[in-house]
A and B are shown apart, each in its own frame.
Chain A
Amino acid sequence: MPSLRPFKRPAPNWPDYLARRAAEARDPRLAEFFAAGQLDPEMPIGEAPLVALDMETTGLDERRHAIVSIGLMPFSLGRIRLAERRYWVVRPPRPLVRQSVAFHRITDSEIEHAPDLDDILDELLAALAGRLAVVHYRHIERPFLDAAVQARRGEGLRFPMIDTMSLEARIHRQSLWARFRRWMGRPPVSIRLHNSRERYGLPPYQGHHALVDALATAELLQAQIAARHQPSTPIGQLWS
């Protein structure tokens, strides 16, 4: 868990960043992706094409660990469409650490026959293009994807993300009420995926499967917007 700063960090200027990368990218697929990914920060969340993204990795450090699976669940505020789901198991360059195998329930043989991330990257980019990504805890998905693409295509991959954990932290960690609770010596409210979902009456799902977690994240965002925001809230206020 990273230390969460009590002040609100200014969101990066994503439109400028994406425009610059679209112009500079050498890899044609990456260039296409960045060009398509230009979403207006003023767009209401209720109209935005969204995609929940989750990855399972062999560890927490993108320099030492690797991605083993990726789940995508395209959705809108109104509907999550299971029919459009995407899921890949990918072969990490390093042999799997046994402990993490148990964690993800992805077996050696599954990994053995899986493609390298590079082989599915174009498909992944196409599925992400034009949609705003939604993750729970962006500090895994963003650096791992960035590092993995950097290693394969010589340039990184970063894009705006709505982080449902940050949205939860804004309420339960950074609000006046949250600081008051801390001052009272109450334990902080858990903002992990499962606990966050529970607060909105969402059912428990079996965790640690990239696609199930992507579905769980999509549902959580729908609930957070219904409870705390409006369909008219501009995406620029939600992404980070």
Chain B
Amino acid sequence: MDIELLEIREHLARFAPFDALSDAQLDDLVGTIEVAYFKAGSEILALGEQIEDLHYIRSGAVEISWRNGELFNRLSEGDIFGHFSLLRNRKVRFPAKALEDTLIYFIPGERFHQLCEADEHFAEFVELGQPRLKSVVEEQHKSNDMMMTRVRKLVSRRPLMVEESTSVQEVAQRMNEENVSSALVLSTREGDPRYQFSDPDGQSWTLQGIVTDQDLRNRVLAEGRSVSTAVAEIVSSRLISVQSDKSVHEAMLAMLRNNVHHLPVLYRRRPMGVLHLSDIIRYETHSSLYLVSNIFHQPDTLGLARLKPDVRQAFVRMVEEGASSHMVGSALSTIGRSFTRRLLELAEEALGPPPVPYCFMALGSMARNEQSIVTDQDNALILDDSFDPAQHDEYFAALAQHVSDGLDACGYTYCKGDVMATNRQWRQPLAVWKGYFSEWIDQPRPEHLLHSSIFFDLDSVHGEEAFVEQLQDLVASKASQSPLFLAAMARNALGRTPPLGVFRTFVMEKDGKQNNTINIKRRGTAPMVDLIRVHALACGSRAQNSFERLDDIAKTQLLPAGTGDKIRYAFEFLSMVRIRHQAIDLQEEREPDNNIAPGNVSDSERHHLKDAFQLLSNAQKFLKFRYPMPSRR
């Protein structure tokens, strides 16, 4: 291609849908482009006019309206418009106006249609006005959007802007009239140069800050200020804003980091709107963030149960986005805790306030923040020591039943080992729990060891956190001082061993037997968790998460140098294999489980699997050596 058009080609290549075109397609396209300049405020496309070209914004900003003149969308550099009309009857359906001085590249209609024919991605992109396919793959595209969609796309109206001398009452009135929850406060004084801009009349302004509903409540009403107070007095000096071309993802991070719900959106230095947290949530309806807030808005168990597909969707998307096992595990655990907490709130609403304080505790994977999409429930109740079974147990039995049934309905099946608060044994006052824990550590019999390996991953979900903390403290201080207990736990952790290797069509067991599938949890991640737990107990770590436990272990001499990192790597790998295969099951509409057929494992994955199993095997051998049975005297 002519080098002189590189400038244009490179620009196109940065933006969808052109970014996905082949070099040859791009070269061909660039030579046919036409260019025109539109001064701010001038009309680019009039309603009903014949349209010949696809419009691409090289620089500037364009406002697209509905027929009735209401704002439909606001576009800028790299955006296209006119495609809806081109795809239909070539009559302009959405009029367009230059919002800024704008340079438009025109792509002849004929070329546009050729590209739609020749390139699936291109066609898909320009036809997005049609209903979305409900496939998971499609959902994945949408999630990537979050990284790529620019903030300006979410801004649907101009900001309300007031001068700093305006009274708070007038500001409130105008917010009410315009039905907005915030107003931008401007000053004619010179201020922060980053926020200076001039309006179309040439007046220069400085954006001083933002006033929200909350400010009117907290800084005016609560502090008893007069309604005639100038708004300047209540504007905070800290202004967090976002550029209109930043991604939605970045805007979300800015909100989270700064703990603000309103973000002024600037085009260069000129305010073009205000983004509210709800705009992002509405946009990204399937994110785990939304899911959690949605969980807390459900009025009953049925509503919660209906969210089950959303949980699965959120899981698949996280995997597709390349989340680590730690991220996936903690997100799913957060979701699981939210379900539990909401069920407890609903139970309390139905049963009345609890007669004595309690703590609802999570055990196992939820406590470790390592929950997967295939999981059952493990929970228990710690009650205040003033608990009187005759008087109070009826309440807590009902509470436990409500939560347990609810969790089952939401996809967290009943625990086969009956480790649930519905079991009277696991619905006891704190003192009894302390007795249990001490006994298990002092007398490491097989049954006690089984309990230890379940209950010593524990965390509070709802209620008196201090109860759980006392138990965590007890475990951390007592277990490390009990060599017999550690030795028994170490033996116990060797019960489940990895296979010798994974071949193309079968799994080779140590005894030479061949199996068709492998349970990656039972043979990989679970023994790894057990192994890490023993070292964590030995070093008195209070961490529950396996990666955090490894951090604590790394500070000690328990493991030979470098071994901790190898275990971490192997654990991450095994966890990801499990997670990925579950995501594939969901995508292919199979019920996910922990079984992997070697045929579904890629060559490189198979190679790494063998290494990871080998490492697990070695680490298990070391465990036996590290925590020997103390000789009895």
Contacts and interface: CB of A to CB of B under 8 A. Distances in A.
Interface of A: 71, 75, 78-83, 85, 87, 200-203, 205-206, 209-212, 215, 218-219, 222-223, 226-227
A82 B39 CA distance: 21
Interface in B36-81: 36-40, 42, 58-60
A205 B5 CA distance: 11
A79 B34 contact: yes
B77 to A, nearest CB: 8
Given A78-B36, A200-B37, A71 B59 contact: no
Contacts of B58: 203
A75 B31 CA distance: 14
Contacts of B8: 82
A227 B101 CA distance: 10
A219 B32 contact: no
Given A79-B106, A222-B37, A202 B59 contact: yes
Given A87-B2, A87-B4, A226 B32 contact: no
Contact of A203 (B4, B34, B59): B59
B4 A201 contact: no
Contacts of B307: none
Contacts of B2: 85, 87, 211
A212 B3 CA distance: 10
B76 to A, nearest CB: 11
A212 B5 CA distance: 7
B552 interface: no
Given A82-B8, A212-B7, A200 B101 contact: yes
A202 B101 contact: yes
Nearest to B37: A222
A80 B36 contact: yes
Contacts of B102: 201
A227 B6 CA distance: 28
A82 B5 contact: yes
Nearest to B60: A201
Interface string B5-36: 11110000000000000000000001111111
Contacts of A200: 37, 39, 101
Most buried by A among B4, B8, B40, B106: B4
Contact of B39 (A81, A209, A223): A223
Interface residues of B, number: 27
Given A203-B58, A205-B7, A223-B101, A82 B36 contact: no
B99 to A, nearest CB: 11
Contacts of A79: 34-36, 106
Nearest to A78: B36
A210 B102 CA distance: 23
A71 B39 contact: no
B42 A226 contact: yes
Interface of B: 2-8, 30-40, 42, 58-60, 100-103, 106
A166 to B, nearest CB: 19
A80 B53 CA distance: 14
Contacts of B59: 201-203
B624 to A, nearest CB: 68
Contacts of A75: 35
A79 B53 CA distance: 12
B26 to A, nearest CB: 13
Contacts of B40: 201
Nearest to B101: A201
A212 B4 contact: yes
Contacts of A85: 2, 4
Pairs of residues from A and B, 4 with the lowest C-beta to C-beta distance, nearest first: A201-B101, A211-B4, A222-B37, A80-B35
21 contacts: A71-B4, A79-B34, A79-B35, A79-B36, A80-B34, A80-B35, A82-B5, A82-B32, A82-B34, A82-B35, A83-B34, A85-B4, A200-B101, A201-B102, A203-B103, A206-B6, A206-B7, A211-B4, A215-B35, A222-B36, A223-B39
A206 B30 CA distance: 17
A215 B37 CA distance: 12
Nearest to A227: B39
Given A80-B35, A203-B59, 15 more contacts: A78-B36, A79-B106, A82-B34, A82-B35, A83-B34, A87-B2, A200-B39, A201-B60, A202-B37, A203-B58, A206-B6, A206-B7, A219-B35, A223-B37, A226-B39
Interface centre among B30, B35, B42, by most chain A C-beta atoms within 10 angstroms, is B35
A71 B37 CA distance: 20
Nearest to A213: B4
Contacts of A201: 40, 59-60, 100-103
A214 to B, nearest CB: 9
Contacts of B34: 79-83
B37 A226 contact: yes
A82 B103 contact: no
A78 B38 CA distance: 10
B32 A83 contact: yes
Contacts of B33: 82
Nearest to A218: B35
A202 B35 CA distance: 12
Contacts of A82: 5, 8, 30-35
Contacts of A211: 2, 4-5
| Highest count of chain B CB atoms <10 Å: which of A80, A200, A201, A223 | A201
B18 to A, nearest CB: 15
Contacts of A81: 34
A237 B2 CA distance: 36
A121 B15 CA distance: 39
Please indicate which of the listed interface residues A82, A205, A215 has the most CB atoms of chain B within 10 Å of its own CB.
A82
Contacts of B100: 201
Contacts of A210: 4
A18 to B, nearest CB: 29
A209 B8 CA distance: 13
A99 to B, nearest CB: 21
Contacts of A227: 39
Nearest to B6: A206
Contact of A83 (B4, B6, B31, B101): B31
A117 to B, nearest CB: 19
Contacts of B38: 226
Contacts of A202: 37, 59, 101, 103
A201 B77 CA distance: 12
Nearest to B3: A209
A71 B5 CA distance: 12
Nearest to B105: A82
Contacts of A226: 37-39, 42
Nearest to A209: B4
A44 to B, nearest CB: 17
B33 to A, nearest CB: 5
A180 to B, nearest CB: 16
A203 B59 CA distance: 6
B633 to A, nearest CB: 85
Contacts of A78: 36
A203 B101 CA distance: 10
A203 B32 CA distance: 20
A75 B2 CA distance: 19
Nearest to A75: B35
Q: Select the residue from B3, B6, B33, B39 with max chain A CB neighbours within 10 A.
A: B39
